[in-house]
């Protein structure tokens, strides 16, 4: 049994950034970093919005943070109590991750006694535009209390400011901020209305880049002064009149009251957990880690949309430009397929709707077909820069090739769509544009195929595989196999079109495509396990790179923040890789390899992997399970499940801040429990399992959805009991 | 009329290194840097040997410097006069480049009067093993004079020491040093014997890493004390008993005497100049520059061998590892073809004899055919490192791709051989192995050809062209055209074999090769001039690089010595190029392009060229002449002719010292005068000219050899008078 509560009981200024991620709440429309109400932009406060972006000058394009209507602090007897200034005598941050409730409690010792401030807040799961907060102040002596609360327009941005203008207004009791973005003149409107359980001596509103009420009270000792904040957020992407909508909604929810809204919110969460909770008997740490991971995925799932995806750092801020990476399809999708297939569909619909952007990108580089954005924003715009890393030695931007050479991105989309239709039996995604995505991705890879003159072997050269430390390599095993998968999928889709006599909008010559993809699928070079060692070379020439232990390699660092990859990074000319690469391929295509090959490659590549990406550990965990080594998998499972609890992970790439939550890692932790330890797989319409549980796990229970039916899975003693329940 | 004398009349310690190059003498077997006899290794003294190399540990493999038997200094009245210590009152360095005579005169003012030291020395053109020096001391007051003279074994090395051991011995009056190299245990033996015009008070020999005589004299004012040094050098590459040979020879020449040897030496130079001197009436600076350039080429021509080539820095030291680059075939060969075809043959024979090394190199990289060494030493060993540049910011070696991606090197060999046979009519070079070189180079390029699946266009990807600032590019125009040239040459050679019914040793299937090379030659992609601009893109995507003026680019430098190329150099992502690239192609294949295309490309690329290589200026000069712009060509001609006189040129690449002479630039200056301004070309057995002389040139006279005949060319008023004279 777990407590569903994560707590942090000491106050440490250095943890403000990490705690912002750890205590994040959200509802897919917005994410609210786990910061205190009195914090400002220097403390990385963010109400991060999904699917809306802005660019200033040539700086990176990134998602918007809304003006912060949670902003609140107190003054007591003329003294401000406003962290991070001063020292609290106690400070607790807590997250009830069952219900997405952020809580905090700070108390301050003064000459006369003690002052306590408590906070509870949530981003409504019932209506994604709503944020609610309860703010309570208690002292054990009488005094003059001023509570300042309102909207802070001094928004934290990495590459901002994004609002050319923020207009503040007041309509009766509603405070309103109306901000206009720089690039597209989008509007972001935040309305706020409060309610309180006391008689204020005076209330007046002040404006100074913030719109803030000053509420003055003759405070009596022992009485808890409570303020309830009702906040709504709308943008011009949501509706025509975001101000009107937000003001109307804020009045409605004000009428309803905090506790009713909280109750509805919790009921919604209970429903969500009903199909997604995982119960592990015998390992509370794992149970907590996996459900906390699932919590994060739920908090950022775009349930409010039919076509939207999840950024690599969720809704925890502007890191990685709020962009969608392959993380979504390859690491998060399985969770949603098993628990909420509609969300999975929304994620993939986003890719179908951004096909045009992918075709434009391909065409920009002189290729046919669809080359999906490495860092996808609205309309499939690729936010990825040609210069993603700053050289710590020169301060210059370094040319990286993530955008133009990491071609495996397109195959991830194909992989996601194929998995969706096979898992749900819902072929609408194919007929509603999925077929075109798949054919155009296959066209893209076909257009990239090279062959030596006189040879029948097709190659993919000058690419980057999942391991980003080795740039511009030839015949990356993962990339080539995924390209082959794309050709195979295109052939499947063409067969479906023919068999079902669908009429695609495009005038494809299906026969021509079929023969082209058939040929490519047969002749594309897939690196084989070496005869003697069974090792699959990650790319051409990998075997002749310097073999050095990671710890010895680290000794070569001249600067902690220097980039390991690129042309001259410490890892570039060595066998040390950033993350699972061949192992990722083996996980996906394990049916094609013997357990021995998987084991030997695991043993070979694992010590050479820095795990510098949060996408690495789960792949090693999954393949370890497939090799019957759950206890070797276990530490990698924890690494996947806990990064946001532990506040670890890389915070820097060169001089670029990359902190935030790790939803792909959460999705990886989920896959490890369900598909690794649980050994669940889907075959011929049947949910099957080959469990492989870590020592100490007495039982493992969860539900999975397959072909529109829901199954309860109970595993004990490595035996699975699988029952259809809906 | 020129004086044939280069002089430097002021003493400047900072010029010691540059003057070592400027006043270099040599005879193809050895080069002697223009340093004073009293200098030691800190002053970059070198008697640099051709064709013999050594490697210590993992350091760069480089040619040997012999122990310095010229070493001599004086002590007068107990005071040493030994530069660079102290200050001379006058100091003159001079080079009589008509006869390869190094001269110096230093005088020192003392309390009592003046002491003068004069030096004259030469590396015999009659016998390449001999070095002669006359050393004279005069004072205008009496005193005790000690002359120290002998062999200095403290040799200057960049990556040494190369002698594990130097044994000194004395046989009667002969001082002998016998040094053993580290890697191959080669022997380098130097013998020295002296003669002098005075009675010595005493002579004794001292040893201390040097073997030095101390000759004591009661010196009388006004008398000139002369010492004649006779020195011989042999290595175990020359003969079985190098000690014996060198001792015997030194005695012989001692018997002959300095003046007779000098006379013979001068007669040999007169013979050499007879076919190679260039007379320019109306421009002494140009006449001096071109004949000084020719002097350098003569001083390093391997006349003593049948199979040896010329390093990129001649015999001026160990820079660039004493290795042979494409410089020889592409920049120096024309001079020897026109003036001494036998030397041209020797240079090319070296390539034929190192074919095995080229085939090994290809095979190492997984290719068929012959991939010649980028930096060729004996047996075609590629001395080029994977790490040629040191990062000035980190001190780390930077991975460069000169060795593995600069594939145009093989085509240079083919180009040289084809030019030799067409120019001399001597087909022996083909039957004696040249045919195999050409076929294997064609096999190499054929093996590298890539094509997009379904395309009929053949590409060469991931290469470096002449411009080294842009690494790993696709379809470099120069490289692709040279590969096509190689296919065409192989077809020519196969035709010769068939027509002449030669029987090659190798069992080539000539028909198969013919159809393969025919196909490749037709389908290889040659970048075309763009429709609107007539600009030929240097490689795929060149046109989309940043266009920035060179001076503005330079402002981005953070460190004077930083490397402009590589992955992150300041030039790498811009259109700024190191040296002529498209222009080099246009010079070679000018018949295929209109004058307009040449002119537009010249105008486009010239301002974008840093001319950071000494191979650049002459190509711009030659193409300018082909566009009828001799006065635009003229400054580039001077740049080619004068680098060693002016002591300019880059001294550093990153942290690596690259100083030395610039024989390719000398060869380029020669081509500019004869083929550019003189407009000489060879067609259908006839020497023809399309002169294009700079303003002020009244006449231009030189001789050229063609098809075993010698022609006198006299040009006046842009009209050429060409007469066969032998």
Residues of B in contact with A447 (CB under 8 A): 452
* Model confidence at B379: pLDDT above 70: yes
pLDDT given at position A96: 98
pLDDT in tens, B653-671: 666 677 899 999 999 999 9
pLDDT given at position A650: 66
pLDDT given at position B589: 98
* B705: enclosing H helix or E strand: strand B699-706
Residues of A in contact with B399 (CB under 8 A): 567-568, 572-573
A399/B contact by beta carbon, under 8 A: yes
pLDDT given at position A474: 98
Question: With an 8 Å Cβ cutoff, are B558 and A394 in contact?
Answer: yes
> Could you tell me if residue A20 is inside a domain?
no
> 3-state DSSP call for residue B615?
coil
Residues of B in contact with A450 (CB under 8 A): 450-453, 461
CA-nearest of B251, B226, B257 to B175 is: B251
Query: Which of A558, A567, A573 is the closest to B568 by Cβ?
Result: A567
Residue at a domain's end among B227, B249, B275:
B275
A557/B contact by beta carbon, under 8 A: no
Mean pLDDT (whole number) for B329-357: 98
A301 vs chain B: nearest CA distance in angstroms?
Answer: 40
Mean pLDDT (whole number) for A65-80: 96
Residue at a domain's end among A227, A247, A275:
A275
Share of chain A above pLDDT 90, in %: 93
Full-model pTM:
0.93
In terms of domains, do B600 and B655 share one?
yes
In terms of domains, do B144 and B249 share one?
yes
pLDDT given at position A404: 96
pLDDT given at position B396: 94
Averaged pLDDT score across all residues of chain B: 96
Pair A28, A304: CB distance under 8 Å: yes
Instruction: Give A237 or B501, the one with higher predicted confidence.
Output: A237
Nearest CA in chain B to A389: B568
pLDDT in tens, A305-330: 999 999 999 999 999 999 999 999 99
Question: With an 8 Å Cβ cutoff, are B567 and A398 in contact?
Answer: yes
In terms of domains, do B399 and B536 share one?
yes
Is A326 marked as a binding-site residue? yes
A572 vs chain B: nearest CA distance in angstroms?
Answer: 10
B516/A contact by beta carbon, under 8 A: yes
Please give the residue range of the domain that contains residue B355.
277-724
A456/B contact by beta carbon, under 8 A: no
Residue at a domain's end among B243, B275, B307:
B275
**Based on the number of CB atoms within 10 Å of its own CB, is B546 exposed (0-12), middle (13-18) or buried (19 or more)?**
exposed
In A565-623, which ranges are E strands?
none
> Could you tell me if residue A670 is inside a domain?
yes
Banded pLDDT at A649 (limits 50, 70, 90): low
Is A579 marked as a binding-site residue? yes
Give which of A364, A388, A544, A568 to mutate to test B binding, by max B Cβ within 10 Å.
A568
pLDDT given at position B159: 93
Query: Which of B394, B399, B558 is the closest to A567 by Cβ?
Result: B399
d(CA A483, CA A467): 17
pLDDT given at position A726: 87
In terms of domains, do B263 and B228 share one?
yes
Nearest CA in chain A to B457: A453
Residues with Cβ within 8 Å of B702's Cβ and at least 6 positions away in sequence, in order, are B276, B277, B278, B279, B673, B674, B678, B713
The two three-digit tokens of residue B455, written as one number: 């395309």
Q: Which residues of A499-529 are buried (b: 16+ CB within 10 A; e: fewer)?
A: eeeeeeeeebeeeebbebbebbbebbbebeb
pLDDT given at position B110: 86
Question: What is the separation, in whole angstroms, between the first and last Cα of chain A?
Answer: 26
Structure-token match 């969706």, residue found: A420
pLDDT given at position B654: 64
A393 vs chain B: nearest CA distance in angstroms?
Answer: 6
In terms of domains, do B215 and B363 share one?
no
Name the β-bridge partners of B459: B450
Pair B553, B456: CB distance under 8 Å: no
> Could you tell me if residue A59 is inside a domain?
no
pLDDT given at position B658: 78
Is A327 marked as a binding-site residue? yes
Give which of A58, A394, A522 to mutate to test B binding, by max B Cβ within 10 Å.
A394
> Could you tell me if residue B35 is inside a domain?
no
A446/B contact by beta carbon, under 8 A: yes
Banded pLDDT at A348 (limits 50, 70, 90): very high
In terms of domains, do A316 and A263 share one?
no
Give which of A567, A571, A572 to mutate to test B binding, by max B Cβ within 10 Å.
A567
The torsion angles phi and psi of A622, rounded to 5 degrees, stand at -65, -45
B364/A contact by beta carbon, under 8 A: no
In terms of domains, do B420 and B355 share one?
yes
pLDDT in tens, B438-454: 999 999 999 999 999 99
Pairing of strands B130-139, B114-123: antiparallel
Banded pLDDT at A654 (limits 50, 70, 90): low
d(CA B281, CA B677): 13
pLDDT given at position B648: 63
In terms of domains, do B265 and B292 share one?
no
Residues of B in contact with A391 (CB under 8 A): 393, 568
In terms of domains, do A228 and A358 share one?
no
- A163-166's contacts with Cβ under 8 Å and 24+ in sequence apart are A163/A67, A163/A188, A166/A67, A166/A209
Pair B482, B411: CB distance under 8 Å: yes
* Model confidence at A289: pLDDT above 90: yes
pLDDT in tens, A466-503: 999 999 999 999 999 999 999 999 999 999 999 988 88
Query: Could you confirm whether B7 is annotated as catalytic?
Result: no
B568/A contact by beta carbon, under 8 A: yes
> Could you tell me if residue B5 is inside a domain?
no
> Could you tell me if residue A699 is inside a domain?
yes
B544/A contact by beta carbon, under 8 A: no
In terms of domains, do A488 and A595 share one?
yes
Angle between helices A242-256 and A258-276 (to 10 degrees): 100
ipTM of this complex: 0.89
Write out the DSSP string of A11-71. --GGGHHHHHHHT-EE-SSEEE-S--TT--GGGT--EEEEEEEE--TTSPPEEEEEPBTT-
Residues of B in contact with A394 (CB under 8 A): 393, 558, 568
Pairing of strands A25-26, A30-32: antiparallel
pLDDT given at position A505: 72
A502 vs chain B: nearest CA distance in angstroms?
Answer: 28
Question: With an 8 Å Cβ cutoff, are B568 and A396 in contact?
Answer: yes
Residues of A in contact with B368 (CB under 8 A): none
In terms of domains, do A312 and A239 share one?
no
Nearest CA in chain A to B395: A558
d(CA B640, CA B621): 9
Question: With an 8 Å Cβ cutoff, are A567 and B572 in contact?
Answer: no
CA-nearest of B186, B187, B191 to B175 is: B191
Task: Spot the catalytic one: B8, B268, B440, B468.
Answer: B468
Residues of B in contact with A567 (CB under 8 A): 398-399, 566-568
CA B539, B545, B549, B555 torsion: positive or negative?
negative
* Model confidence at A672: pLDDT above 70: yes
Query: Which of B396, B398, B453 is the closest to A449 by Cβ?
Result: B453
* A116: enclosing H helix or E strand: strand A114-123
In terms of domains, do A504 and A434 share one?
yes
> Could you tell me if residue A467 is inside a domain?
yes
B396/A contact by beta carbon, under 8 A: yes
Nearest CA in chain B to A463: B462
Share of chain B above pLDDT 70, in %: 99
* Model confidence at B649: pLDDT above 70: no
Name the β-bridge partners of B478: none
A563/B contact by beta carbon, under 8 A: no
Banded pLDDT at A648 (limits 50, 70, 90): low
Banded pLDDT at B614 (limits 50, 70, 90): confident
Residues of B in contact with A472 (CB under 8 A): 472
pLDDT in tens, B203-225: 888 888 899 999 999 999 999 99
Residues of A in contact with B394 (CB under 8 A): 393, 558, 568
What is the domain-level CATH number for residue A192? 2.70.98.40
> Could you tell me if residue B59 is inside a domain?
no
Is B579 marked as a binding-site residue? yes
Mean pLDDT (whole number) for A613-627: 95
Residues of B in contact with A571 (CB under 8 A): none
Give which of B453, B566, B571 to mutate to test A binding, by max A Cβ within 10 Å.
B453
Question: With an 8 Å Cβ cutoff, are B446 and A453 in contact?
Answer: yes
Question: With an 8 Å Cβ cutoff, are A450 and B450 in contact?
Answer: yes
Q: Could you give the number of structural domains in chain A? A: 2
What is the domain-level CATH number for residue A320? 1.50.10.10
Pairing of strands A699-706, A279-281: antiparallel
Averaged pLDDT score across all residues of chain A: 96
Question: With an 8 Å Cβ cutoff, are A573 and B399 in contact?
Answer: yes
Question: What is the separation, in whole angstroms, between the first and last Cα of chain B?
Answer: 26
Query: Which of B394, B519, B567 is the closest to A399 by Cβ?
Result: B567
A452 vs chain B: nearest CA distance in angstroms?
Answer: 4
């Amino acid at each position: 049994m777990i407590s569903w509560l994560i707590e942090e009981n000491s106050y440490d200024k250095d943890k403000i950034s990490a705690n912002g991620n750890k205590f994040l709440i959200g509802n897919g429309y917005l994410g609210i970093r786990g910061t205190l109400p009195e914090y400002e932009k220097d403390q990385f406060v963010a109400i991060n919005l999904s699917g809306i972006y802005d660019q200033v000058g040539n700086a990176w394009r990134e998602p918007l943070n809304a003006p912060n209507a949670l902003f609140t602090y107190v003054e007591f007897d003329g003294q401000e109590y406003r962290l991070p200034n001063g020292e609290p005598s106690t400070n607790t941050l807590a997250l009830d991750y069952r219900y997405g409730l952020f809580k905090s409690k700070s108390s301050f010792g003064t000459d006369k006694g003690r002052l306590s401030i408590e906070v509870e807040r949530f981003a409504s799961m019932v209506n994604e535009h709503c944020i609610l907060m309860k703010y309570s102040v208690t002292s054990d002596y009488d005094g003059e209390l001023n509570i300042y609360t309102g909207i802070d327009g001094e928004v934290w941005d990495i590459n901002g400011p994004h609002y050319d203008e923020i207009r503040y207004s007041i309509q009766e009791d509603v405070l309103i901020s109306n901000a206009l973005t720089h690039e597209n003149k989008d509007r972001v409107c935040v309305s706020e209305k409060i309610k309180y359980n006391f008689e204020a001596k005076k209330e007046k509103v002040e404006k100074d880049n913030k719109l803030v009420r000053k509420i003055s009270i003759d405070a009596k000792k022992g009485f808890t002064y409570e303020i309830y904040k009702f906040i709504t957020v709308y943008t011009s992407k949501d509706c025509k009149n975001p101000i009107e909508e937000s003001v109307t909604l804020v009045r409605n929810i004000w009428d309803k009251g905090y506790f009713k809204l909280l109750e509805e919110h919790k009921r919604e969460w209970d429903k969500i957990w009903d199909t997604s909770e995982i119960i592990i008997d015998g390992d509370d740490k794992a149970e907590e880690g996996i459900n906390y991971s699932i919590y994060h995925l739920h908090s950022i799932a775009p349930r409010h949309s039919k076509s939207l995806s999840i950024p690599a750092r969720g809704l925890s801020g502007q890191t990685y430009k709020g962009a969608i990476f392959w993380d979504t399809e390859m690491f998060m999708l399985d969770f949603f397929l098993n628990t909420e297939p509609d969300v999975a569909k929304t994620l993939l619909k986003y890719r179908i709707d951004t096909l045009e952007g992918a075709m434009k990108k391909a065409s920009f580089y002189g290729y046919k077909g669809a080359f999906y954005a490495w860092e996808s924003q609205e309309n499939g715009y690729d936010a990825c820069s040609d210069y993603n890393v700053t050289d710590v030695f020169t301060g210059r931007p370094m040319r990286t090739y993530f955008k133009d050479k990491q071609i495996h991105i397109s195959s991830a989309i194909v992989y996601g769509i194929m998995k969706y239709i096979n898992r749900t039996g819902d072929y609408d995604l194919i007929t509603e544009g999925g077929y075109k995505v798949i054919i155009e991705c296959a066209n893209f890879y076909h257009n990239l195929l090279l062959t030596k003159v006189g040879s029948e072997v097709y190659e993919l050269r000058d690419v980057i595989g999942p391991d980003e430390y080795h740039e511009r390599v030839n015949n990356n095993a993962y990339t080539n196999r995924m390209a082959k998968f794309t050709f195979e999928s295109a052939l499947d889709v063409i067969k479906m079109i023919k068999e079902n006599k669908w009429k695609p909008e495009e005038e494809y010559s299906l026969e021509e495509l079929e023969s082209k993809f058939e040929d490519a699928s047969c002749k594309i070079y897939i690196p084989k396990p070496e005869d003697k060692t069974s090792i699959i070379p990650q790319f051409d020439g990998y075997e002749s790179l310097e073999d050095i232990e990671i710890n010895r390699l680290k000794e070569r660092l001249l600067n902690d923040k220097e980039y390991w990859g690129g042309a001259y990074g410490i890892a570039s000319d060595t066998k040390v890789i950033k993350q699972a690469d061949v192992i990722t391929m083996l996980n996906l295509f394990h049916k094609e390899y013997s357990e021995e090959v998987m084991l030997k490659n695991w043993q070979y590549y694992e010590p050479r992997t820095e795990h510098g990406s949060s996408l690495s550990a789960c792949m090693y965990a999954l393949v370890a399970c497939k090799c019957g080594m759950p206890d070797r998998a276990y530490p990698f499972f924890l690494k996947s499940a806990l990064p946001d609890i532990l506040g670890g992970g890389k915070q820097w790439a060169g001089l670029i801040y990359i902190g935030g939550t790790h939803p792909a890692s959460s999705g990886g932790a989920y896959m490890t429990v369900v598909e690794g330890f649980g050994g669940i797989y889907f075959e011929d319409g049947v949910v099957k399992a080959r469990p492989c549980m870590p020592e100490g796990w007495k039982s493992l229970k969860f539900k999975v959805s397959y072909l529109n039916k829901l199954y309860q899975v109970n595993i004990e003693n490595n035996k699975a009991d699988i029952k259809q329940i809906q």
